């Protein structure tokens, strides 16, 4: 009986269970140019409207749309798109005519808190939010 236990233990040691994961072949990452602007003095909700306006557009159309937008922050977003275009052209040798705004997302930044004096010695908070915007450009052919 001792020999039977010893054999089963030896067999367990001899046949380890090996689990392997088969990884799918990864495609090469697409070349993308990005521009990030931090600490824009506007709420993320308002900035999100402008980011949604240009998402998926060709760069030329997006710049035109931002140039004629009535939103105050559109000027800063236009600068960010122009910066991303410059990054694409200089760093990745992309064709500027084929670029589209693949992604444009907004993040929440810091919030400055101020006080507004009110009647009877009370006070109210004034919140001054900041936002971040990230713009990613890709070539349309990809």
Of the candidates 114, 135, 136, the one whose C-alpha atom is nearest the C-alpha of residue 126 is: 114
pLDDT value, residue 30: 76
Model confidence, pTM: 0.77
**94 DSSP assignment:** -
Q: C-alpha dihedral over 8, 9, 12, 15, to 10 degrees?
A: -90
Res 7: pLDDT: 59
- Asked whether residue 5 is domain-assigned, the answer is no
What does the pLDDT read at residue 119?
97
pLDDT in tens, 42-64: 999 999 999 999 999 999 999 99
Looking at residue 34, its pLDDT comes to 96
Which CATH number covers residue 121?
Answer: 3.90.470.10
Tell whether 20 is covered by a domain.
no
Q: Containing domain of residue 116, as a range?
A: 32-139
**What is the tally of structural domains in the chain?**
1
- Residues 50, 73 contacting (CB under 8 angstroms): yes
By the 10 Å C-beta count (0-12 exposed, 13-18 middle, 19+ buried), 123 is classed as exposed
- Which residues in the chain land under pLDDT 70? 1-29, 142
Residue 14 resides in a domain: no
Contacts of 115 (CB under 8 A, 6+ apart): 123, 124, 125, 126
């Amino acid at each position: 009986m001792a020999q039977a236990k010893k054999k089963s233990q030896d067999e367990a040691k001899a046949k380890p269970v090996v689990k392997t994961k088969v990884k799918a072949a990864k495609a090469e990452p697409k070349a993308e140019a990005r521009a990030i602007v931090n600490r824009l003095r506007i709420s993320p909700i308002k900035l999100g409207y402008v980011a949604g306006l240009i998402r998926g557009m060709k760069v030329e159309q997006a710049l035109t749309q931002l140039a004629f937008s009535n939103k105050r922050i559109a000027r800063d977003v236009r600068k960010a798109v122009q910066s991303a275009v410059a990054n694409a052209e200089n760093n990745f040798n992309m064709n500027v005519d084929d670029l589209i705004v693949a992604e444009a997302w907004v993040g929440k930044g810091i919030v400055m808190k101020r006080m507004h004096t009110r009647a009877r010695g009370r006070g109210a908070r004034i919140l001054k939010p900041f936002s971040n915007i990230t713009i990613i450009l890709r070539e349309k052919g990809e």
